[in-house]
Amino acid sequence: DAGVIQSPRHEVTEMGQEVTLRCKPISGHNSLFWYRQTMMRGLELLIYFNNNVPIDDSGMPEDRFSAKMPNASFSTLKIQPSEPRDSAVYFCASRGGPLRTEAFFGQGTRLTVV
């Protein structure tokens, strides 16, 4: 199994531009999570899906952020327009299997907005 795959690994963009982060969860996992990591706030849960349906998006900081999961093998997190304070590492994680206990994380996307 290739694990959770995120792309791109690094993204540098100018303020005001649209940014799209991508995630492919582990096959067979039915829960998917988007986290953001910053020095100031640590790991924050932005949104999570179960069976492709958004369950809780209360962690999404503003309307500039949106996430979709059109099918079981793909999710996107979009920021439009981006701002310098959005600079962070964004992680995708998936969870599933018979015990549905731990989550498996991707390598993250380091976003820098200049």
Partner 1 sequence: AQSVTQLDSQVPVFEEAPVELRCNYSSSVSVYLFWYVQYPNQGLQLLLKYLSGSTLVKGINGFEAEFNKSQTSFHLRKPSVHISDTAEYFCAVSDWGTSYGKLTFGQGTILTVHP
Closest CA to 34 of 53, 49, 19: 49
Q: What DSSP state is assigned to residue 9? A: S
Residue 52 or residue 81: which is nearer to partner 1 going by CB? 52
How many residues of this chain bind partner 1 (CB under 8 A)? 24
CB 41 → partner 1: shortest distance, Å? 9
Q: What DSSP state is assigned to residue 85? A: G
> If DSSP codes are grouped into helix, strand and coil, which group holds residue 102?
coil
Residues 1-40 as x/- pattern, contact with partner 1 by CB under 8 A = ---x--------------------------x-x-------
> If DSSP codes are grouped into helix, strand and coil, which group holds residue 59?
coil
Site for partner 1 in 51-80 (CB under 8 A): 55-56
